[in-house]
Amino acid sequence: MAKILIIGSGGAGLVGALSAHEAGSEVIVVSKTLPTRSQTSMAQGGMNAVLGNDDSVEDHIADTLRSSAGLGDEKQIAFMCENASDAVRWCNRLGLPFSRDLSGEIARRRLGGASAPRACYAQDYTGLKLLHTLYDQCLKVGIDFRNERFLLNMIVDEASNRALGATFLNISTGEVEEVRADAVIVATGGYAALYGKHSTNAVGSSGDGIAAAIRAGAALADMEFVQFHPTGLLDSSILIGESARGAGGYLLNGYQERFTNELASRDVVARAIHEEISKSGAVYLDIRHLGEAFINHELPQERKLAQIYEGIDPVYELIPIKPSAHYSMGGIEVDERCMSRVNGLFAVGECANHKTHGANRLGGNSLLEVVVFGRQCGKNAAEFGVKNPTLPLENSQCSKDSNFIHEVMLSLNEIDFYEKQERLATLFYNNVGLVREEMGLTAVLDEVLQMQKELPLMAPKDKSKICNTNLVEFIEFGNKVELAEIIVMSALRRVESRGAHYRVDAPMRKDGLFGAHTITWKEGGVLCTNFME
C-alpha cells in the first residue's frame, strides 16, 4: 500500500485525498488550518459542465481556449471539459446540494465569457458546499487529518531527484516535524494574498506550496498571470461574485452610465473598470433592478457583505467596487499526470499550472479543475507510489528546518516585516496589477530584491513557542517575497499583452516571440527564466 502525503486541505487536496484513498493508498492530509477553512469556501459562482442539449462540450472547450489567449493547452482543456459532467455527477453522488432548475436538473447559470449557462451552482455558496461535502466524505472514509501544520520544505533526495516527504512547523507546539511518503501532492492554493488588502483571497493564500516546490527543484509556469476579479468591494476587496452580473447586474461609471459588456471575460471587464475609474472617478455595481426577493434568494452573501464592509444595502443602493487580485493562473509546472519536475512531487488545483486557464481563467473553471484534476492526481500519485515506493533515506532537511526556526526565533527584529508586507501589497497592486510597464516593474523588482536582502534583519517579535502566529506570518511573508521576484521577473520578460498580463508599453499580443509558457526555476539558488512551448 502506498502512502500519500497531501499538503493542503482545500477542494483540490480533499478530492485528491478521496481519489488516492479509493485507489487503495494510505492518505495523510496536512494543512495549516482546518479543512473547511480553506480558500475553496469562498468560491461562489459555480462549476462549469455541459449537462443538456442546450450546450455542447465543444463550446465549453472553445470558450476556455479563447479566454486562455493562446496559453491554454488544447489537450488538457479538452480533458477537463470532457470530464466535467462526470465530475459534477460525482459531486452530486457525494451529496453536494446543487440548486435545481424547473425540470429538477442541476441548475446552471451564465458566467462571463461563456457561450451558454454552464456553471452548476448551489446558491452563491458553491465552494462552501463543495468543500464541506468533501470534508464529510473524508471523515467517512477515515482520512488522517493533521491540522495546524505549516509547510516548511519538501524533503528531496537530490541524487535521484525524488520527493520523500515534507517538513512542517507544528503551529500548536512549535516543533518541526517531518512526514515521509511514497508520493507527495501539493494542493496549497494560489498566491493572490500577496496583494494584501487589494486581494479577494483569504489571508492564507500566500503561495507556500509553490515557493517550497521551486526551492525543491520544481519549475513554475506563467507566474505573471494573476487574474483580477472585476468586482471586489472598493474598500476591502471582498468579493462580489460574478453571479451578480450573470443574473443581470450592471456596471455604472461615476456618471451612473453603463460603459461595457458586463459579461465579457474577466480580464476585459476588469481593465474597462480600471480605465473608467481613472476617467470618471468611480465604478459601481448596480443590482437594484433585480429586486429584493431575487437578491435574498440568489445573492444573500453579497448583500450581507456589502452592508458590513461598505455600509450600503445593494437592494436600494449602488455597490462601489474595484478590480481586485483574485486568482493565480501561474503555478507549479506539471505534466499530464499532474507531476512536477521532481519525481513523486505532484501538484493540483490553483497551486499547479495544468495549462487549462492559460492567460485568463473563465469563471466556473476553477472548481471544475479542482475536481477533475484532483481525481486524476490522487489516482496517479497512488499508482506512482505503488510502483516506486520510497526508501527510508537519510535526509537532513528536517534538522536544517529545525535550525532555521531556532535561528529565526533568536533573531532581532530590526525591520518590521508587517510594514514591508503592506508595502509589497501596494507596490504590486499599483505596478504588477491590471496594467504594467517596464519602468514600474523594474522599480518593484529592485525593491523586492532589497526586501530579500533585508529578510535576515526581520523576525517575529513574539518569541513564544506555542501557537506563534507571528512566526507563521513571518514565514508566509518570506514565501511571498520569494514569489514576488518570480512574478515580476516573468512580467518583465513578457514584453507583450495577453489575457491578464497587460503591458502599456507593449499593448499587442506577439505570438511569434511570446506564444509560449514562461518557465522559471532555480539553479544554485539563482532564478532562471525561459519561454517554452
Partner 1 sequence: MEIKIKRTPNEEKQSYNVDLENVTLLTLLNHIKTKIDPTLTYSHGCRSGICGSCAVRVNGREELMCTYKPSCGDTVEPIRYARVIRDLVVDSGSIDIFNRAGLAWSEGSREGNVEDEEMERIQTQSDCILCTSCASACPVYAVNPDFIGPFALTRVWRYVSDPRELSSHRKLAAVQTNGIWDCTLCGECVPVCPQNIAPVQDIRMLRTKSGRMGYNDPTMNFGGGLDFGSPIF
CB 197 within 8 A of CB 238: no
Provide the annotated active-site residues: 266
Q: Which is nearer to partner 1, 400 or 463 (CB)?
A: 463
Give the nearest distance from C-beta 17 to partner 1 in angstroms: 14
The C-alpha cell at 148 is 495546524
Q: Spell out the residues 6+ positions from residue 533 whose beta carbon is closer than 8 angstroms to its own.
A: 516, 517
Q: Spell out the residues 6+ positions from residue 423 whose beta carbon is closer than 8 angstroms to its own.
A: 447
CA distance 499 to 518: 14
| Residues forming the site for partner 1 (CB under 8 A) | 33-34, 36-39, 41-42, 89, 92-95, 97-105, 107, 122-123, 125, 128-129, 132-133, 136-137, 139-140, 145, 147, 172, 202-204, 236, 238-239, 301, 304-305, 308-309, 311, 418, 422, 460-462, 464, 466-470
CA distance 385 to 444: 42
Q: Which is nearer to partner 1, 133 or 188 (CB)?
A: 133
CA dihedral sign of residues 323, 326, 329, 331: positive
The C-alpha cell at 386 is 505503488
Q: Which is nearer to partner 1, 279 or 297 (CB)?
A: 297
Order of all β-strands in the sheet with 119-120: 47-48, 119-120, 108-109
Give start and end residues of each alpha helix (H) in 156-265.
208-215, 243-246
Q: Which is nearer to partner 1, 38 or 518 (CB)?
A: 38
The C-alpha cell at 198 is 487589494
Task: Output the DSSP codes for 65-114.
Answer: HHHTTT-S-HHHHHHHHHTHHHHHHHHHHHT----B-TTSSBPEE--TT-
Q: Which is nearer to partner 1, 276 or 302 (CB)?
A: 302
The C-alpha cell at 528 is 532562471
Report how far apart, in Å, the C-alpha atoms of 201 and of each of 189, 194, 346, 374, 483 are: 10, 9, 24, 21, 16
Nearest CA among 266, 500, 476, 470 for reference residue 364:
266
Other Cβ atoms less than 10 A from the Cβ of 296: the count is 11
- What amino acid is encoded at 276 in this protein? E
**What's the per-residue H, E or C state across 129-158?**
HHHHHHHHHHHHHCCEEECCEEEEEEEEEC
Q: Which is nearer to partner 1, 467 or 516 (CB)?
A: 467
Give the nearest distance from C-beta 36 to partner 1 in angstroms: 5
Q: Give strand pairing partners of 226.
A: 328
CA distance 406 to 170: 14
Q: Which is nearer to partner 1, 35 or 331 (CB)?
A: 35
Q: Which is nearer to partner 1, 208 or 267 (CB)?
A: 208
- What amino acid is encoded at 181 in this protein? A
